[in-house]
Amino acid sequence: MLNQNYSFPIRVYYQDTDAGGVVYHSTHLDFMERARYEWLREMGFDVNALIQIHKTVFMVRSLEIEYFKPAVLDDLLQVTVQVEKIGGSRITICQEILRSQIKLVNATVHVVCVGADSLKPVRVPVPLRQKIGASS
């Protein structure tokens, strides 16, 4: 792992759940996306700056996800972000969704850095690479 865990709190709202009060399986992906967005912001790289200054965006290339326990209405969750590996244009991120230190969901997300105009793979911007802790 390249840098320390980032953790983002999320409260489960009614809109996140089905009629039984259980979080929809796909909503977990929204929670993880939100945590990755805030992780970038915490490091000083808001999405607009990545687009405007570095002319790059990140797209999910693939992901593997496992659901262990359900999250339910009004739960306070922690969504973690941990960089596992960084390549030329790809970053592998491990994420967990926890409730009171109990793992509910585990995912490995492969994102690729692409040119904002071309949508073709480009190298991860050097300042971001350095901030994450990988050699450029």
Q: What is the pLDDT of residues 15-58, one digit of tens each?
A: 999 999 999 999 999 999 999 999 999 998 988 989 999 999 99
Which tokens in the block code for residue 106?
């585990």
- The structure's pTM equals 0.91
Q: Does domain 6-132 match CATH 3.10.129.10?
A: yes
Give me the half-sphere count of Cα atoms (radius 13 Å) on the Cβ side of residue 64. Answer: 4
CB burial of 106-122 (b: ≥16 within 10 Å; e: otherwise) equals: bbebbbbbbeeeeeeeb
Chain centroid to CA 32: 5
Provide the pLDDT for residue 46.
87
Q: How far apart are alpha carbons 17 and 21 in whole angstroms?
A: 5
Catalytic residues: 18
Token pair 């190298």 is found at 123
For the chain, helix (H) and strand (E) counts, in that order, are 3, 5
Q: pLDDT tier at 7 (50, 70, 90 boundaries)?
A: very high
Q: In the chain, what is the straight-line distance between the N-terminal and C-terminal CA atoms, in Å?
A: 16
Q: What is the pLDDT of residues 103-112, one digit of tens each?
A: 999 999 999 9
